[in-house]
Structure 1
Amino acid sequence: MPRPLPPSLHRERTRHGQVVYYVRRKHGPRIRIRAEFGTPAFFEEYRAALAAEPTSGAGKGPQAGSIEWAIKRYMASSAWAGLSPATRRARENIFHQITEAAGDKMLSQVTQRTIIGGREKRAKTPHAANNYLKAMRGLFGWAAGDGGLVKVNPALGVKLLKGANDAEGFHTWTEEEVGRFEEAWPLGTRERLALDILLYTGLRRGDAAKLGRQHVRDGVITIRTEKTGEVVSLPVLEPLARSIAATKTGDLTFLITERGAPFAKESFGNWFKKACVKAKVPGSAHGLRKAGATRAAENGASERELMALFGWNTGKMAVHYTKAASQKRLAQEAAQLLLPKRTRNKTARTPRPGAGASAKNR
């Protein structure tokens, strides 16, 4: 039997089969909850929707010039509206924590030392620390610019922390690790389908979790990415087509839980991480996206091709991968120049397989 919903929260299925939630008190207005059900962002929106209900009293707002006051103005700005829904949800949680801890403090009291202190407080989880710093960069970038609330952005010059996996963030899967995962999870398993979707589409975990047959037409996947809002179109490659055909899938999404329901983004990431542990590989869902970008770049993909494939709206990440691929190729070619000229051509020849064994037998 399903658990009862919190007060004033209602569940409804649209004519398109999508489940939506909204807050409504008695016969008052309906306030739609956009975040994913069950997540902290969902309940933050739920509480905000309850607070937005009209009341008989004229509630006192935050003091002008305070951090909470500035955050509310920022979240009503075009700069905030221009962020992706996923980014807004993540930063709403961060701003809620900041408001709870120091919302009544004056914005003018926040210095670079304050920002660094907030980052260091979260240093044990570098990803969370960096998300905090990015949120503060956004807030004070607006406050020092269009907002006109401060003269100097205190987040300027504060550096991001290096990730726990490697110097560039999430661990990039190697080809050997991909093969090891495939051995542990053969064709037909949900885990293998998850790997194939992530590797052969380059989608982020949230988009991979919601990918379904409705996104495929005439062998082409077309989906609007959650983070950037870019529409990507790519063919269903043969390995992915075989994996989809061999696996039990859902009606709305290819990837489903043991109960046959679609995955939430967070639960999908946790589930896939457990599959990686069982396969004895150090990877994650995002690491496969990086592996796909590395593979494409090393196979000769251009910057524009990478941008189209991975839904990047700037060339920054594409340049990173094409530059790394070029450096690797040039280094391999230039390595021959380290040899004496008289032996360079001889060592450049690749011995035929088994040559050493044949020579030994003879």
Structure 2
Amino acid sequence: MSGNNKGERRRFGNVRKLPSGRYQARYLGPDGLMRPAPDTFETWDDADDWVALKKAEIRGGHWRDPDTGAVNFEKYALKWIEERPLGATTEELYRRLLRLHLLPKFGEYDLDEIAAPDVRAWRAERLRATGATTVAKSYRLLKAVFQTAFEEDELIDRNPCRIKGAGQESPKERPVATVAQVDALADAMGPRWRLMVQLAAYCSLRPEEQAELRREDVDQTRRALSITEASPELTTGRRVTGAPKSAAGSRTVFYPALLDADVALHMELYAAKGDDGLLFVGERGAPFRRSSFGRKWRKACAKVGMRRGFRFYDLRHTGNTLATQSGATLKDVMVRAGQSTEKAAMIYQHSTEDQQRRVAQQLDKRVRADRRGAEKPRANRAGTTGRRSKPKGAGQGSGSGEGPAPTGTSGTDLARGS
């Protein structure tokens, strides 16, 4: 159809010139409703092309109701959180990220009104205003919400979160305490909390797991701790008791024999009475609180000269690192720490300067031993009695002029030894 037929009705859709001089395009959607273009066009040909595009979308089965994306982002994101089986601390984190970092920018918009440039501008502004780790967490949440809207609910044509690497975190390396520092911290925390420090460092227990440990979970004969529940404390002070952080969190952890006396003393003097009595309680018998415990922890760190910012949770990091340096495999660390993925456990595969020195020492010993082992067969082949080797073809030689290899030594072994 040419530009001369401006008012002519088409078999599919129509184009008309408005009093303003611009052109309006409409078409009949599969739902039986007339669908106007969201904007007018400068030329008739541009409007005609838009109608043709919509016709192709319908014929190809790619047509999407333009009203489906008219869903408020805030309402959709809140519903997205409610519909997922999240742990209490994870849900609290998502709601905080949503309230502080996402809703101020996107809360008033519909899903289909948020485009890739909007996301890039939001991220740039957040990076200037707060930490990169928080921005990465917020971006991952935003991307997950939009991915559900795109893939599952089919409310938008494409996920606007397309910034490569924007959801990756690069947190600072967490500090690892020495054994002497752990023991000093245990002493500084006092006898009631001494064992809690030791279980964090030498058994890799999370604080929320220790909060729910009970007498019946401790088997002193087997030196075993049964981890079946956790009680994370929310920022409101409320504890939410339930299953551990992941399926791998339900586990049995064996503590080292060096804790025998401390475990026995704690069970006798400080644990709440009864089989289901909590292992760690305050002087009045109440479960420990993050606020009051945190004050004791900061004072203990200052007393022993630990650098500012060393967290109680870093003891778990220390414990997992000590386990790897003690010969634990990646799978061993995963089971002991209650990690469900290798990626999570890999952060404990530290290699300190001392560890690297031990590796070099062990390598030196191994190479020297192999060389000594290789020297003996060569000496034997050269003839330790002073006799010369037999000529080629003499006796039962292999054709190398050196005679048969010593019993139990293959040619591959000799090559490896040299």
Structure 1 length as normaliser, TM-score? 0.61
Deviation at 1:321, TM superposition (A): 3.2
Q: Matches of 2:289 and 2:154 in 1, distance apart?
A: 39
Structure 1 distance, partners of 2:124, 2:291, is 28
SS where residue 152 of structure 2 aligns?
coil
Task: Write out aligned runs for 1:168-183 (5 A).
Answer: 168=173, 170-183=174-187
Q: How far did residue 311 of structure 1 move?
A: 0.7
Do the aligned partners of residues 129 and 271 (structure 1) sit closer, same or farther apart at CA in structure 2, a change above 3 Å counting?
Answer: farther
- Listed as ranges, the gaps of 5+ residues in structure 1 are 1-62, 339-362
Q: Rg larger in 1 or in 2? A: 2
1:221 aligns to what? 225
The letter for the 2-side match of 1:316 is K
Task: Assess, with a 3 A threshold, how the Cα gap between structure 1 residues 280 and 250 changes in structure 2: closer, same or farther.
Answer: farther
Picking from 144, 154, 159, the partner of 1:152 is 159
Q: Provide, for residues 8-40 of structure 1, a one-character-per-residue CA deviation record: whole Å limited to 9, x for no partner.
A: xxxxxxxxxxxxxxxxxxxxxxxxxxxxxxxxx
Return the TM-score normalized by structure 2.
0.54
Indicate how the Cα distance of structure 1 residues 127 and 69 shifts in structure 2: closer, same or farther if over 3 A, else same: same
**Residue pairs, 1:61-210, within 5 angstroms:** 64-77=70-83, 80-81=84-85, 83-97=86-100, 101-102=104-105, 103-107=107-111, 108-109=113-114, 110-123=118-131, 128-150=134-156, 151-154=158-161, 156-158=164-166, 160=168, 162-163=170-171, 167-168=172-173, 170-185=174-189, 189-210=191-212
The match for 1:273 among 291, 298, 321 is: 298
| Partner residue, 1:246 | 265
The count of aligned residue pairs is: 267
Does the aligned pair in 2 maintain the 1:196–1:243 contact within 8 Å?
no
Q: CA deviation at 1:213?
A: 1.4
SS of the residue corresponding to residue 225 of structure 2 reads: strand
Deviations 1:70-127 (A, max 9, x none): 21331244xx22x33321232223324457635223334241331343354332xx66
Larger relative contact order (Cα-Cα within 8 Å, sequence gap ≥ 6): 1
Q: Aligned-pair distance for 1:158?
A: 1.3
Aligned pair partner of 1:316 in 343, 366, 372: 343
CA spacing shift, 1:300–1:273, aligned 2, 3 Å: same
Cα-to-partner distance string for 1:207-253 (whole Å, 9 max, x where unaligned): 12222213234642221353224312112433444223333223432
For 2:187 and 2:306, the matched residues in 1 are separated by 11
